[in-house]
Each structure stands twice: as structure tokens, then as C-alpha cells.
């Protein structure tokens, strides 16, 4: 492979040797150190490859062997340059591309972070940028050892880190103390479990069907009617003395499963006459380039069609994983349409309203709501068709709200103070 590349760079010829004794020609070339390769017999002649330098040394060999040498093909980089010698712009473009690729390879265009479990890449990228590490910086200015020290200093749960540059990518690998992450997670769950005192409040009106209290004092029972805002389970527990007098309060986070019968008013409607957009096939395109400060447009979308729709296609370019270029290419497609009025038939609007209602009921079931009674019917007039009525549901109606702390009655407080004295 390497020999073939060197032969292409130096250039070579494909020649055909004819005459009285082409075999003697080959022997003399070998004797004078002229290298031949890809030798093939062609009848009473031979075809072979020879270097440009070797071809220049063939004159005495040809004279001595009385053979005829015909050039079949010229190949290699020198002949390529000679063939396109007048196309200066082409070679200038190649030279510019080589210089451009070389210059771009001097910068960091991608920062890849691996192993960060407890924080996002964006958080670490913002920290690195504050430390002078950013996309587009020179690779020669990247101090990998300093990056590791800064990460270890900033994040306590990072027990190991490494940084190195490969190509135009800065690779940062970290290993976090997973035991510490688990402890923090357990602590946060414990904090939620031991949260602030709370009552369970009714979110809507209803009749209690079932109540299962795990913590707190139930304020209602099965069969009771409640209104929105009523306390269903209190997180405040009264402390009584032997005389059944309140001497203090204990506060808990109420916990219970409460199911109530509620009534939901359902209504959905659609117009009998509606408009559709019939596309004419006429389109116009507006291409644009947007930077942080400027917007350049090619084409115009003014005063074309009386009725039109807009569709915008845009593409923003990214180098690597996180470095977005401040340039956006886009195209607006403006398409003409003609408005056409149509009318729903009775079967059509009934099917559509029924389908929407079934979808609504399915969503209720997914939320754990049970439909006890359905009184929804379809009505219509000259302008609109509607599905309306009531649904009797069995659903959870309780939500937690912070408990308002109570003050002891003044007489109780005084008695408590006297007992303490």
C-alpha cells in the first residue's frame, strides 16, 4: 500500500514494448536497475509500468534492443497537476481547505462529559466555562491537570476525575461516590416522609363512599356530604387530661384514602357547518439566514394569496454535542388554499361527539375514576350539535394542605401554667 502511494506521488507511465526481442529489453532494464512492475504479455509485446525517472533512462536500452516503446497511459500526481494546471481556482480551493482543516484542528469543538450522575452536563459546562474552559478555545491552552483539580475542588462527591484531549474533543470522565448519592436520596425521602403537618381537604363537593385513615383524625364518615374546602382528615390530634380538657396538640401529616361520589357536568359541542382548506397547489418559498443580530431573507411572501398557510422549516448547526453555532438556516413555505364550507350530517356529528365522549371516559378510568351513572345525551339545532349531561363518579377527592396550628384556650393555658408552678 505504501509503495503504491509513493508511486502515485512520484508519477509513473504504462508503456507497451514491441519489436524483435522485448524479452531482451526487460533483461537490460533489470541489468541497469530500471524498475518495472505489473508486467503483462500481450501477444508478441509486453505492457508494464515504469517510473518517470526510469523512462528517461530507456533511450540506450531501446537503441540496443531495437524495440519500440509506446506510452499507453500517464498516471500519478505530477500528471494530475499538469492536466489541471490552468485551473488555479481549483487548486486554490484545495489549498484553502487544507489550511482551514488544519486551523480548525487547533481548537476544541466538543466537550464530552462521562460519569456525571447527580448533575446535568449543562451544569458542569457552566462551571467549566467559569474556569476558562469553553468550546472554541485553543487546545494548547487546555490544562487537563488543572481541570481535574477544579472539578475535585468544586464537587465533593467526585472521588476520581480525568481529562484529556483527543482530536478536537476534550474528554472529561468523573466517578461519583454512589454511596453518598444513595444516602442523600434516602435523606430526601425521609424528609418527605417526615414532612410538615398537613390536613386532607376536600377538592370538590360529594358524598363520602369510603374512608381509610392511616394517620390523623377523620372528620367525616361514610355517607356524609362534604363541600369543597371541608377538612376530611385532620393532622391535629388533641391531648386531653383526665378531666377531658385540652392541654395541648400534636401535629401530624394526615394520610388516608378517601373515595367520594361526585357529579361532573359534561359538555362538548361542534358547529354543524364548518370550513375546510382546499389547497390549490400554488406555493412560494422564502429562504432566510438568521444570526444573533441579523436576519437575511431571499424572496418575499407579501401580497401573494388571499388565503394562505405558513410552514416554517429551520436548521441550526451544532459542532460536537453542546456547541451550537449562532447561525440558523430556514425556509418559509407559503401555500394558497380556498376555503370551502361543508355541513356535518347527523350520523357524522353523532359519531364524532360519541368518540370524544368515549375518549373522555377512558381518560377518567386511567386516572382511577369509576363512572357510576351516565346521563349524557346528544342534542342538536340548526347551528350546533352538542353532547351534554351529568356523570356520577366515584373518585378520590382529598388533597393535603398545611395544618394551621391552634392556640390553647386561655383558661387551659392558665391552668397548665399553674400546674407547672
Tell me, what CATH number does 7's domain have?
3.30.70.260
Per-residue confidence band for 178, with pLDDT thresholds at 50, 70 and 90 = low
* DSSP assignment letter at 140: G
Task: Decide if 147 is inside a domain.
Answer: yes
Tell me whether residue 294 is in a domain.
yes
Note down the domain range covering 155: 89-194
- Within-domain flag for 21: yes
Task: Kindly state whether residues 93 and 174 are assigned to the same domain.
Answer: yes
- Per-residue pLDDT tens over the stretch 228-237: 999 999 988 8
In a domain, 300, yes or no: yes
**Half-sphere exposure (CA, 13 Å, Cβ side) for 64?**
13
pLDDT above 90: residue 1: no
142 with 181, same domain? Answer: yes
Residue 379 grid coordinates: 342534542
Per the CB < 8 A criterion, the answer to whether 48 and 15 are in contact is yes
Instruction: Round to whole Å and give the CA distance between 400 and 229.
Output: 11
**In a domain? residue 35:** yes
DSSP label at residue 385: E
CB 344 within 8 A of CB 272: yes
What's the whole-number mean pLDDT along residues 90-111? 88
Residue 416 domain flag: no
- Measured CA to CA, the distance from residue 216 to residue 254 in angstroms comes to 5
Q: Tell which of 36, 57, 82 closes a domain.
A: 82
Strands (E), 52-167: 67-75, 110-114, 158-166
Q: Which helix (H) or strand (E) holds 28?
A: helix 22-31
* pLDDT tens figures, 281-294: 888 888 988 887 78
- What would the pLDDT profile of 238-265 be if each residue is shown by its tens digit? 888 888 887 888 888 889 999 999 999 9
Q: Would residue 356 count as lying in a domain? A: no
Query: Could you give the CA distance from residue 68 to residue 271 in angstroms, rounded to a whole number?
Result: 95
Tell me the sheet residues that pair with 107: 138
- Indicate the residue among 143, 178, 194 that finishes a domain: 194
pLDDT score of 358 more than 90: yes
For residue 14, pLDDT over 60 is answered with yes
Boundary (domain end) residue, out of 194, 212, 241: 194
Domain count for the chain? 3
Q: Are residues 286 and 329 in the same domain?
A: yes
pLDDT at residue 195 in the model: 62
What average pLDDT score do residues 119-136 get? 89
The distance from CA 32 to its chain's CA centroid, rounded to whole angstroms, is: 68
Q: C-alpha grid cell for residue 368? A: 382511577
Grid cell for residue 69: 516503446
* 67 in Cβ contact with 21 (< 8 Å): yes
Are residues 73 and 93 both part of a single domain?
Answer: no
On whether both 65 and 98 belong to a single domain, the answer is no
- For residues 168 and 93, membership in a common domain is answered with yes
Helix (H) or strand (E) holding 176: strand 169-176
E-strand ranges in 272-420 read: 273-290, 295-298, 308-319, 323-343, 370-374, 377-380, 384-396, 398-402
Q: Are residues 48 and 140 in the same domain?
A: no
Specify the pLDDT at position 135. Answer: 87
Statement to judge: residues 188 and 93 lie in one domain: yes
pLDDT in tens, 133-144: 988 899 999 999
- The residue count of the chain comes to 421
Distance separating alpha carbons of residues 300 and 364, to the nearest angstrom: 49
Amino acid at each position: 500500500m505504501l509503495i503504491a502511494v509513493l508511486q502515485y506521488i512520484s508519477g509513473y507511465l504504462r508503456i507497451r514494448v514491441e519489436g524483435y526481442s522485448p524479452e531482451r529489453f526487460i533483461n537490460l532494464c533489470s541489468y541497469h536497475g530500471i524498475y518495472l512492475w505489473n508486467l503483462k504479455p500481450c501477444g508478441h509485446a509486453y505492457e508494464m509500468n515504469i517510473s518517470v525517472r526510469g523512462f528517461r533512462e530507456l533511450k540506450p536500452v531501446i537503441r540496443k534492443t531495437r524495440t519500440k516503446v509506446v506510452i499507453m497511459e500517464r498516471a500519478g500526481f505530477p500528471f494530475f497537476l499538469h492536466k489541471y494546471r490552468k485551473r488555479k481556482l481549483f487548486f486554490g480551493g484545495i489549498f484553502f481547505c487544507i489550511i482551514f482543516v488544519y486551523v480548525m484542528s487547533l481548537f476544541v469543538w466538543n466537550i464530552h462529559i462521562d460519569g456525571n450522575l447527580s448533575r446535568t452536563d449543562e451544569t458542569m459546562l457552566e462551571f467549566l466555562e467559569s474556569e476558562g474552559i469553553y468550546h472554541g478555545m485553543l487546545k494548547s491552552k487546555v490544562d487537563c491537570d488543572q481541570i481535574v483539580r477544579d472539578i475535585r475542588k468544586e464537587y465533593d462527591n467526585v472521588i476520581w476525575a480525568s481529562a484529556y484531549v483527543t482530536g478536537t474533543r476534550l474528554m472529561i470522565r468523573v466517578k461519583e461516590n454512589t454511596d453518598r448519592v444513595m444516602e442523600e436520596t434516602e435523606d430526601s425521602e425521609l424528609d418527605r416522609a417526615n414532612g410538615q403537618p398537613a390536613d386532607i381537604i376536600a377538592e370538590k363537593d360529594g358524598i363520602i363512599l369510603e374512608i381509610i385513615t392511616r394517620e390523623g383524625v377523620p372528620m367525616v364518615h361514610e355517607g356524609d356530604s362534604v363541600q369543597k374546602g371541608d377538612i376530611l382528615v385532620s393532622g391535629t390530634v388533641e391531648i386531653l387530661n383526665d378531666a377531658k380538657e385540652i392541654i395541648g396538640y400534636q401535629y401530624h401529616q394526615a394520610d388516608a384514602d378517601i373515595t367520594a361520589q361526585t357529579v361532573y357536568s359534561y359538555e362538548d359541542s361542534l358547529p354543524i357547518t364548518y370550513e375546510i382548506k382546499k389547497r390549490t397547489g400554488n406555493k412560494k418559498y422564502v429562504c432566510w439566514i438568521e444570526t444573533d443580530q441579523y436576519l437575511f431573507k431571499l424572496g418575499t411572501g407579501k401580497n401573494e394569496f388571499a388565503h394562505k398557510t405558513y410552514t416554517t422549516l429551520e436548521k441550526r448547526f451544532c459542532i460536537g454535542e453542546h456547541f451550537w453555532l449562532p447561525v440558523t438556516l430556514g425556509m418559509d413555505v407559503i401555500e394558497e388554499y380556498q376555503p370551502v364550507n361543508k355541513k356535518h350530517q347527523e350520523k357524522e356529528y353523532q359519531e364524532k361527539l360519541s368518540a370524544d365522549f368515549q375518549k373522555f371516559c377512558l381518560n377518567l378510568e386511567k386516572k382511577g375514576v369509576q363512572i357510576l351513572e351516565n346521563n349524557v345525551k346528544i342534542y342538536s339545532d340548526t347551528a350546533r350539535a352538542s353532547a351534554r349531561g351529568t356523570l356520577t363518579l366515584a373518585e378520590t377527592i382529598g388533597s393535603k394542605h398545611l395544618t394551621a396550628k391552634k392556640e390553647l384556650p386561655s383558661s387551659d393555658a392558665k391552668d397548665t401554667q399553674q400546674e407547672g408552678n
